[in-house]
Homo-oligomer: A and B are copies of this chain.
Amino acid sequence: MSDQHRQFSLSCPVPLGNHTTIQLAHGGGGRLMRGLIESLFLPIFQRHGVAGPPAPPHDSAVLPVEQGRIAFTTDSFVVSPLEFPGGDIGKLAVFGTVNDLAVAGAKPLWLSAGFVIEEGFPLERLRQIAESMALAARTAGVQIVTGDTKVVDRGKADGLYINTSGIGVIPAGIDVSPARVRPGDAVILSGDLGRHGIAVMSVREGLSFDTTLESDCASLAGLVEAMLAVQRDIHCLRDLTRGGLAAALNEIATHAQVGIRLDESAIPICQPVVSACELLGLDPLYVANEGRLVAMVPATAAEAVLTIMRNHPDGRDAAIVGEVIDANPGIVELRSRLGGSRILELLTGEQMPRIC
């Protein structure tokens, strides 16, 4: 898009009008929809420097690439409630997709944003969520380059659902994949478990804690970049979301056909999460995070990677929590503090619906 063009769309936006809530017509492809895009989303994304060229009027963003490999991922966010301690659906939608790209070894670059909004949703609340998205995108160093807005009738959504898809570039020489996990690999966790799930559940269930427990919702892009800078040969990375550490490791164990043995005493979990899990009857190993990853690293490189992680603000509490083994392919085993052992099975469903 030419500069002339972008200037135009900035200088003559269709105004948002006098509505304070979303109308069905805001999704109709007419003036109200253009107003929503040009007077709500775009100015916020532009102010934070994340609207990135090209700004809309085209149906697609046009983006330059070098020869190589790109990572492409998608995630829909239906978290309930939309706001929770430490974040909201906007922050979650940006970091969730950024993290899926980061754990593929990619540098996240571009996001799309698709909104499904319920008629009657307050515009001020939408503005705050767009602000969260813009801030998160700036933090993660990504641009929101294309988007879509749909409105559904009252009662046909739960306020707002956001889909983000993302593209990142995988640097030459990086090959992070469950297929590369090998017996002997160290299993490194980037921080403590369960904060996101418990922060969301605390609002839903009306729990209060002595100290405010906030979601760990964060970009993992910087941490992964630092890890790959010290050790290009990281075998596998996975961010912990639905189903927590247990689900992530079960998938890897199944697909790589290896066993994974965890040392319970090495797994960091903060006291408020432990207490809340006891109260709610949850197992913290299955509770969702949104700013934690697990890494499978050759044993010889484990200490070096751990040191880098602990020196990074998003990996301060990183710990080696287990190892990949030859025995019991497909099985994740937890050695307890008391010397016993249990299998961490993949649950049928999840302990907590609509956590992301």
A177 at the interface (CB under 8 A from B): yes
A170–B348 CB distance below 8 A: no
Docked pose: A17 CA to B99 CA in angstroms = 31
Docked CA distance A67–B169 (Å): 12
State whether A9 touches B255 (Cβ < 8 A): yes
Residue of B nearest to A25 (CB): B349
Please tell me if the beta carbons of B30 and A76 are within 8 angstroms of each other in the complex: no
Say yes or no: B59 contacts A100, CB within 8 Å: yes
Query: How many chain A residues touch B (Cβ–Cβ < 8 Å)?
Result: 96
Option from B5, B62, B247 in Cβ contact (under 8 Å) with A71: B62
Flag whether A266 is at the interface (Cβ < 8 A). no
Chain B's closest residue to A26 (CB) is B349
Contacting residue for A31 out of B23, B114, B155, B346, CB 8 A: B346
Whether the pair B170, A112 counts as a contact (CB closer than 8 A) is no
Q: Which residues of A contact B (CB under 8 A)?
A: 1-2, 4-5, 8-9, 12, 23-34, 57-78, 99-101, 103-104, 106, 110, 112-116, 145-148, 150-153, 155-158, 161, 163, 165-168, 170, 177-179, 238-239, 241-243, 247, 251-252, 254-255, 257, 288, 346-354
Please name 10 further chain A to chain B contacts, defined as beta carbons within 8 Å, in addition to the given A59-B238, A75-B148, A114-B114, sorted by A numbering. Answer: A28-B352, A32-B348, A59-B239, A60-B71, A60-B72, A60-B100, A60-B101, A62-B104, A63-B70, A114-B165
